[in-house]
Chains A and B, each alone.
Chain A
Amino acid sequence: MVYFILKRLVQSVFVMLAVAFLAFSLFRFVGDPVSQMTGVETSVADQEKLRDDLGLNDPFVVQFYRFTTDLLQGDFGFSYRTRQPVADMIADRIPATLELGIVALLISLIVGIPAGVYTALRPRGVATQAILMTTLVGVSIPTFVIGIMLIFIFGVQLGWLPTFGRSGTVQIGGWESSLFTIEGWRSLLLPAITLGVYQLTLTMRLVRAEMMEVMRSDYIRFGMARGVPMGRLHYRHALANTMVPVITIIGLQFGGVIAFSIVTESVFQWPGMGLLFLESIRFVDIPVMGVYLVVIAFFFVLVNLVVDLLYVAIDPRLRVRDV
């Protein structure tokens, strides 16, 4: 067990190194930092001096080493665009994206899992067919169209919810949260639904497919044959077994939700990391882009680690060997 987790940790280190390498390559090979930092009037000699001072003439390996050690110490460098430390910029934006992602995930789980169970248990029902049709439409429409439609209906036509931006935030320590005011939730709702819709359909379909598979298994049939109450069979026996494979996909998808919140954030002008990333691209702000890459990769790795731990919690076959 401990060995299993250690192995995963070591693997994670290698993944992070690979991503750091990619991020570093961005710096090194996309554009020339010196020409971006200096104006046309800077002399060639001054440019060379700057290049030397910044260590850009050092061998590749040395530069990469310096880059990684700086990253590890929390020194993410400075933005070309705003001249602010990148670490501060990211830290400012992380709460917005994380809250958006987590609420989107919760919506998708709270709706997706029961819907999946329902459609699996009543495969021929009218409601089931309706749900399946609707969600099929849901996956087929691109995220930004869903976002725009939601804005149009709830923001413009009905005027119930704000159409863009984040408001009603409360400062808790270093974390700017919008989860503690009604106003915050009002602005969070539409983007979270937009972001969660795809995940929701995926979760639902996955739960449905797995659950139908599990309901055909011998141990469920045996449970029926010995008269275990149906509710218990469905929710205690079948659902737990369904969740084992579903968790993997949900975990992977959550990483994706964080990473691909870019589209949703730009539709709703949500001040999260995705929006920051878009702005950085527009200004070729390579340090921010590089760090964004590393941070997102870190989330992926973290989520996968959590998924592995959840596995162990759910499945005794991974926990205990012999008594």
Chain B
Amino acid sequence: MLVIKDLAVKFPSRFGDFTAIEDVDMVIRPGEIHGLVGESGAGKSTVGAAVIGLLSSPGYIAGGEISLGDTDLRTLTPSEAHAVRGDRISMIFQDPQTSLNPLMTIEDQLIETIQAHSDVTHAEALKRAVDLLEEIGIKDAAKRIKAYPHQFSGGMRQRVVIALAICTDPELIIADEPTTALDVAVQSQVLDLIKRLARDRDIAFMLITHDIGVIAQVADRVTVMRHGKVMESGETRQVLGAPEHPYTRALMDAVPPLDRRIDRFRVPEEAPIAGDGPTGNLAEDWLLEGQRSDLLGLKLTDLTVTFAAPRTSIFRKPDPYVALDNVSLTVRPGTIMGLVGESGSGKSTLAKAITGLVSPASGEMRLGDAELPYGKTRSRYHPSRQLIQMVFQDPYSSLNSRHRIGDILEEPLWFYGFVTERAERRRLAAAMLELVGMAPDAIDKYPHQFSGGQRQRIAVARALLARPRFLICDEPTSALDVSIQAEILNLLKDLQSTFGLTILFISHNLAVVRQMADDTAVLRAGRIEEVSSTENLYENPQADYTRSLLSLTPVMPKDWVARGS
């Protein structure tokens, strides 16, 4: 049993100690899955790192107690603590792609871990490792164990990671976002596995995640954290179904539901949107002036995109990898088309083909009445380069970190020749910032001075300043916390209805797409499985694949609902 009392962790810095977490209390019993939720920076991972004794330098435990069973974890010497790691406490990391050593076989990594904690021969360790892999759902384990990590798929790798974590029979496993990097189908298998292990082996799990759906599905108890403090703690159903703390309630409001559409998310402290001030009106008027032309739709016919596969022989040309296979899709003018699918299904390739970053092998793309030339044959000055704009997934890498926000925003204005006068461009950029809910003084700052949500607003502003008629949003909120996600989704909805944009909204998150899209298309392995109006698709899915996606997405059970809206 893990008991944490009044735990505080501090990071010394030039400006005095920064308190990462304080007054954290938690009890995890054997066999219990204890969810730890909160947004980024809430200190969830710090709690896990403090328990396993791997706080990143220079952080230190400033006070409180951590004990596992009878052992006081704070009084251990470094070598004792290292002996406890793996033996009694283990950990599962977020990304199975990076948490295994790429240069060693699974066998070597498993056996060294087993032998590090128990005095067994190589053969015994091997047998135990094979049995464990079988138990965890890797078929033909005796053979597969000889493989290197890169030879396993993402889901299989996470199983191997779990096998490594449990191969020494620990009492406690800290799982830090164990399914965040996985597709829903794989996620549900991994969650089932965690549930089974907790039940059968009586392992206590600390499940750190930002995904309320995941917590609702597997956690017995949950602790909600914010700014390094515990907001609320208790039985999962109690905390999520009838949240007492205002923060928990706000958090629950921001989670997009899968089973119905809500018009707007209720966001506390929401920044004013859509220019109340005179400057915001300037941007609004300028945009509306550009929207006098008709709404533009997009029509894709039999679009096929292939990539050359790596060559392995001189004599045989390898079969190309088909990323998109005869995709036909119509985005009606002035609507939002949602595009969902798992990783590798071709969602982003589709966006790249439309924007001319990737050249299709065949098929036709039409924006309004005009045909879009393929990839490199599309000239730099083709009108579609202005009419189609994009908002990318990662706001940290999609803004040039060496340019001021003003320069970033003014670029489309002079590039497309909208505004020739420099002062006027600047005024418009400031007005646009206000329109997307940012303070106009942001114009002189650099991207790193803003949070992810603010950066995404800047990215939206940049896209709008090109006066687009067609906006592609490629996973615009998947790098953001739920409350920030809610704000960005609200913003996109407002802008779309005010300016009559046509939007292709790409996401792997079905709940988000349900809130945003008028129509939804489901993509799988480069083929469209199903297209329909969003309500119809979610209420009455036709394709088996859509049904399984919907059923596997973790949600809160319906009978828990005590949501405010």
A-side residues, CB < 8 A to B, are 3, 6, 217-219, 221-230, 232, 236-237, 240-241, 244, 314-317, 320-323
Contacts and interface: CB of A to CB of B under 8 A. Distances in A.
Contact of B86 (A225, A232, A323): A225
A230 B174 CA distance: 21
Given A218-B98, A219-B98, A323-B151, A226 B91 contact: yes
Contact of B91 (A225, A228, A237): A225
Contacts of A317: 102, 148, 150
A304 B85 CA distance: 42
B152 to A, nearest CB: 10
Interface in B68-118: 82-87, 89-91, 93-95, 98-105, 112-113, 116-117
A222 B165 CA distance: 9
Given A227-B87, A227-B117, A316-B150, A221 B54 contact: yes
Most chain B Cβ neighbours within 10 Å, of A236, A321, A323: A323
Nearest to B144: A323
B85 A217 contact: no
B403 interface: no
A227 B102 contact: no
Nearest to A224: B54
Given A218-B93, A227-B86, A230-B82, 11 more contacts: A3-B314, A218-B95, A221-B93, A224-B54, A224-B85, A225-B89, A225-B91, A226-B167, A232-B112, A320-B151, A323-B147
B314 A6 contact: yes
Best-surrounded residue of B52, B54, B102 (most CB of chain A within 10 A): B102
A315 B164 contact: no
11 contacts: A218-B93, A218-B94, A218-B99, A221-B93, A221-B99, A225-B54, A226-B86, A227-B85, A236-B112, A237-B103, A316-B103
A63 B212 CA distance: 77
Contacts of A222: 91, 93, 99-100, 161, 164
B312 interface: yes
Contacts of A240: 103-104
A221 to B, nearest CB: 7
Interface in B262-312: 311-312
B101 A237 contact: yes
B52 A225 contact: yes
A149 to B, nearest CB: 39
Contacts of A227: 82-87, 113, 116-117, 168
Contacts of A236: 104, 112
Interface of B: 52, 54, 82-87, 89-91, 93-95, 98-105, 112-113, 116-117, 143-144, 146-148, 150-151, 161, 164-165, 167-168, 174, 311-314
A322 B148 CA distance: 9
A317 B148 CA distance: 8
A321 B312 CA distance: 10
Best-buried of B84, B90, B101, B104 by chain A (most CB within 10 Å): B101
B436 to A, nearest CB: 35
A219 B105 CA distance: 13
B103 A314 contact: yes
B312 A3 contact: yes
Contacts of A229: 116
B302 to A, nearest CB: 31
B311 A3 contact: yes
Nearest to B108: A236
Contacts of B143: 323
A319 to B, nearest CB: 9
Nearest to B313: A3
A284 to B, nearest CB: 45
Contacts of B312: 3, 321
B112 A228 contact: yes
Contacts of A3: 311-314
A217 B98 contact: yes
A236 B313 CA distance: 33
B113 A228 contact: yes
A316 B103 CA distance: 6
Contacts of B98: 217-219
Contacts of B168: 226-227
Contacts of A6: 314
Given A3-B313, A219-B98, A227-B85, A316 B113 contact: no
A3 B101 CA distance: 27
A322 B90 contact: no
Contacts of B91: 222, 225-226
A232 to B, nearest CB: 6
A156 B98 CA distance: 55
A226 B113 contact: yes
Nearest to B48: A225
